[in-house]
Structure 1
Amino acid sequence: MSAWLWISQTHYPVHALGPGNRLTVWVQGCTLSCKGCMSRDTWSADGGVETSVEDLAELWRSAVGQGADGLTVSGGEPLQQADGLSAFLAAADEVRRGAARELDFLVYTGYDEDELDEPRRAALSLADVVVFGRFEVANPTELVWRGSANQRMVPRTELGELRYADFIDYAPEQGPLQIEVRGNDPWIIGTPRKEALRNLDRSLKGVGLRITDTTWRP
Structure 2
Amino acid sequence: MQLSLSRVHFPITTLGPGRRLGIWFQGCSIRCPGCISADTWGPGHRRIALHQLIADLQPWLSEADGITISGGEPFDQFDALFQLLTELRRLSPADILVYSGYSLEQLQPQLHKANGLIDALISDPYQQQRSQSMALRGSDNQRLSVLTNLGHERLASYERPLLPTDKALDLMFDDDGSIWMAGIPQRDDLLRLRDLLEDQGHQLQLSAHTSRRR
Q: Normalising by structure 2, what TM-score?
A: 0.90
5 Å-filtered alignment, 1:27-106, equals 27-45=25-43, 47-65=44-62, 67-96=63-92, 102-106=93-97
Partner of residue 163 from structure 2, selected from 172, 178, 194 = 172
Matched residue of 2:23: which SS?
A: strand
Taking the aligned partners of 1:186 and 1:48, their CA distance within structure 2 comes to 19
Structure 1 residue 109 displacement after superposition: 0.3
- Runs of 4+ more than 6 Å apart: none
Identity within the alignment, %:
31
Cα distance in 2 for partners of 1:120, 1:32 equals 19
- Give, in angstroms, the shift of residue 125 of structure 1: 4.4
Looking at structure 1, the residues matched to 115 and 184 of structure 2 have their Cα atoms a distance apart, in angstroms, of 21
**Once the 2 structures are TM-superposed, how far is the Cα of residue 120 of structure 1 from its aligned partner?**
5.5
Cα RMSD, aligned residues only: 1.7
Tell me the distance in 2 between the aligned counterparts of 1:135 and 1:44.
18
What letter corresponds to residue 36 of structure 2 in structure 1? M
- Give the TM-score, by structure 1 length: 0.89
How far is the alpha carbon of 1:9 from its aligned partner?
Answer: 0.9
TM superposition shift of 1:27 = 0.5
3-state secondary structure, aligned to 1:113: coil
Deviations 1:28-53 (A, max 9, x none): 111101000111111112x1411122
Is 2:37–2:209's contact at 8 Å kept on the other side of the alignment? no
Q: CA contact under 8 A between 1:140 and 1:193: conserved in structure 2?
A: no
Where does residue 7 of structure 1 map in the other structure?
Answer: 5
- Tell me if the contact between 1:54 and 1:91 (Cα under 8 Å) persists in the aligned partners: no
- Give 3-state SS (helix, strand or coil) of 2:105's partner: helix
In the aligned structure 1, how far is the partner of 2:149 from the partner of 2:111?
Answer: 21
Q: Quote how far apart the aligned CAs of 1:180 are.
A: 1.1
- Structure 2 gap segments, 5+ residues each: none
Among 188, 207, 211, which residue is 1:195 paired with?
Answer: 188
CA contact (8 A) 1:140 1:194 kept: no
How far is 1:158 from its partner?
Answer: 0.4
The CA distance in 1 between the partners of 2:107 and 2:28, in whole Å, is: 16
Q: Quick check: 1:111 aligned with 2:102?
A: yes
Larger mean Cα displacement after TM superposition, 139-148 or 104-113: 139-148
In 1: Cα distance, 2:31 partner to 2:139 partner: 15
